[in-house]
């Protein structure tokens, strides 16, 4: 009897098992914003000029914040090709390479992986669409200078939305202003493959469905006007076209000319281009707020100019600055994220790791991997 009483006294009801942790949310859509040459000081200068020291950019309202290490494979300072290759493929490479290894092997990009899974894809830039950053998401060449070769690959890429400048690289050498040295008419080839080829802001607003190839200037885009759309307008239209298909998408948007302001040590251009980029990010965040399944990531491939804010008022005014360089620097750049999967981008992250995490978040990993060129 005593044994039974002791046994009863020592027995405790078993606690129910702890619930399994909820699976990490998987986004249906990814919008990757790259501010070319945009460091923390560029954001601060744009904030001060646009909103005052106590104001805030749309970018700065994003809840997850990190820093990105930018160096390429074998140097401390990256160029845009190696930096964008890291984001697009999850692999480090040498400066100048476009989605290729140091041994010139083609690396699969996140847009190629997305397209293979049936997702929509898009690229929106203010540079030529053949420039280093956009090229790294859809083309493979040993050096970024081969913009005519990149143009040919873009037309064959199957990307749903391509918006930017660079018409001169798509028209035959006989066309005035062409940058080609052959008779290829890539615009006609694009039309034959089903692309709506457009050249004005009005045509962009009128186009009803992808695929779309919008080339709004012979080379880089001039300031927005009645003919040339802004980065915000292009972003909104790309999101509308890709979202309409309802199959999920990966969109890369670049504020290309922040970098050019840095190279020229032109603070006014840095500020105006960063504010234009921020307006595009606001459009992306607006889309994400209306679609709870969208991951938004904002970062930069590198900082340009060694910009420092050294004086000014707290009101809405352009600050006094100093410059350390007319080239890129190796300082870490900011990263901001919002939406499902955003928590995976906090902390200090290598740029190639950012690319790997982007692919993993979308269920497109693992990257890096060599592109399968088997017929």
Active site residues: 80
Residue 185: count other Cβ atoms within 10 Å of its Cβ: 17
Distances (CA, A) of 331 to 78, 176, 182: 10, 42, 41
Residue pair 132/84 in contact (Cβ under 8 Å)? The answer is yes
Of 171, 177, 87, 94, the closest CA to residue 123 belongs to 87
Torsion 335-336-342-347 (CA) sign: positive
Decide: helix, strand or coil at residue 149.
helix
> How far, rounded to the nearest angstrom, does the alpha carbon of residue 200 sit from its chain's CA centroid?
23
Of 31, 24, 99, 75, the closest CA to residue 249 belongs to 31
Of 31, 81, 29, 33, the closest CA to residue 300 belongs to 33
Helix extents (H) in the chain = 2-10, 40-51, 80-89, 110-116, 132-135, 147-155, 186-192, 201-206, 231-245, 258-263, 267-290, 351-361
What residues contact 246, with CB distance under 8 A and at least 6 apart?
A: none
Q: Rounded CA gap, 199 and 190, in Å?
A: 14
Residue pair 54/274 in contact (Cβ under 8 Å)? The answer is no
């Amino acid at each position: 009897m005593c044994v039974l009483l002791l046994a009863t006294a020592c027995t405790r009801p078993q606690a129910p098992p702890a619930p399994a942790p909820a699976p990490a949310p998987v986004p249906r859509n990814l919008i990757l914003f790259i501010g070319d040459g945009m460091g923390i000081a560029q954001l601060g200068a744009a904030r001060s000029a646009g909103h005052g020291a106590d104001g805030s950019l749309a970018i700065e309202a994003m809840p997850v914040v990190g820093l990105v290490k930018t160096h390429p494979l074998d140097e401390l300072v990256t160029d845009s090709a190696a930096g964008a290759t890291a984001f697009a493929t999850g692999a480090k490479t040498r400066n100048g390479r476009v989605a290729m290894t140091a041994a010139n092997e083609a690396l699969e990009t996140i847009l190629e992986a997305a397209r293979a899974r049936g997702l929509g894809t898009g690229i929106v830039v203010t540079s030529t669409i053949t420039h280093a950053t956009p090229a790294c998401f859809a083309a493979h060449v040993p050096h970024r200078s081969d913009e005519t070769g990149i143009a040919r690959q873009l037309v064959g890429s199957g990307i749903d939305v391509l918006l930017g400048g660079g018409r001169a690289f798509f028209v035959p050498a006989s066309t005035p202003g062409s940058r080609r040295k052959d008779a290829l008419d890539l615009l006609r080839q694009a039309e034959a493959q089903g692309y709506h080829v457009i050249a004005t802001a009005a045509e962009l607003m009128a186009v009803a469905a992808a695929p779309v190839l919008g080339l709004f200037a012979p080379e880089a885009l001039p300031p927005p006007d009645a003919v040339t759309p802004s980065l915000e307008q292009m972003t909104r239209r790309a999101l509308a076209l890709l979202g309409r298909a309802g199959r999920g998408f990966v969109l890369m948007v670049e504020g290309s000319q922040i970098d050019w302001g840095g190279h020229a040590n032109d603070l006014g251009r840095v500020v105006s281009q960063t504010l234009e980029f921020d307006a595009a990010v606001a459009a992306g965040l607006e889309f994400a707020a209306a679609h709870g399944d969208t991951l938004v990531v904002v970062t930069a491939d590198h900082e340009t100019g060694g910009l420092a804010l050294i004086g000014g008022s707290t009101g809405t005014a352009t600050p006094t600055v100093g410059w350390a360089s007319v080239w890129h620097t190796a300082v870490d750049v900011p990263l901001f994220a919002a939406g499902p999967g955003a928590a995976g981008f906090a902390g200090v992250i290598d740029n190639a790791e950012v690319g790997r995490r982007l692919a993993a978040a979308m269920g497109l990993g693992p990257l890096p991997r060599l592109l399968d060129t088997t017929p």
